[in-house]
Amino acid sequence: MKNKFWQTLGLATVASMRSMLAPALLSKSLVKHNSPYLGNSPLRFMQSPITANVLSVLAGAELIGDKQPDAADRTSATVMPSRAVAGALLGATLYKSQQGSALVGALIGSVAAVATNYATLAFRKQLIESTNQPILAGIIEDGIAVTSGLAILKGRKGTKLTKADKKANKEAKQAAKARQMA
């Protein structure tokens, strides 16, 4: 899927199921296919292998924690903000990485993650009712979230660069190197 709007809506829906999974998948994708438009952006950390690995560990912990009997309801006041933040982060990153407005992406991602949160919760409850196995329902939802996230990002490739883009990318890398040495 190449359109940043639809990618954002899709990944925000994944974030509504597992808040750390969508940013982890996006970060892993950005490590493989860097975007020069994130080079000087505060969102450049999403292209870092360290960020991708940390987010992956957090996503794994969330997959386990979600199956615990005392896991908080995803629409609770303590959990809902994490969905909104995950949606905002992935939306801002997707939009910025494709020469769009990070603010527009953040708004779309945040609203979509919160809105679809209720639909994915209803789906989870229906799975529990159908299977009479809460853990199995969670595993099924995990599978849907992972495969959906991977499918959404499958078409994401590196951006075709103009000479000006290549120059800007080189300057961004030099600036990053200078910051590391300082």
Q: Count how many domains the chain has.
A: 1
What is the reported pTM?
0.83
Which pLDDT score is estimated for 164? 61
pLDDT in tens, 85-140: 999 999 999 999 999 999 999 999 999 999 999 999 999 999 999 999 999 999 99
Is the per-residue pLDDT at 161 higher than 70?
Answer: no
* Alpha carbon distances (Å) from 7 to 60, 149, 155, 178: 22, 9, 10, 33
Nearest to 149 by CA among 58, 55, 28, 21: 21
> How many CB atoms sit inside 10 A of residue 66's CB?
20
Domain hosting residue 38, numbered range: 4-181
Q: How far apart are CA 77 and CA 108, in angstroms?
A: 20
Is the per-residue pLDDT at 160 higher than 60?
Answer: no
pLDDT in tens, 40-53: 899 999 999 999 99
Query: How much is the mean pLDDT over the chain?
Result: 89
* Alpha carbon distances (Å) from 18 to 11, 35, 45, 61, 93: 10, 25, 21, 10, 18
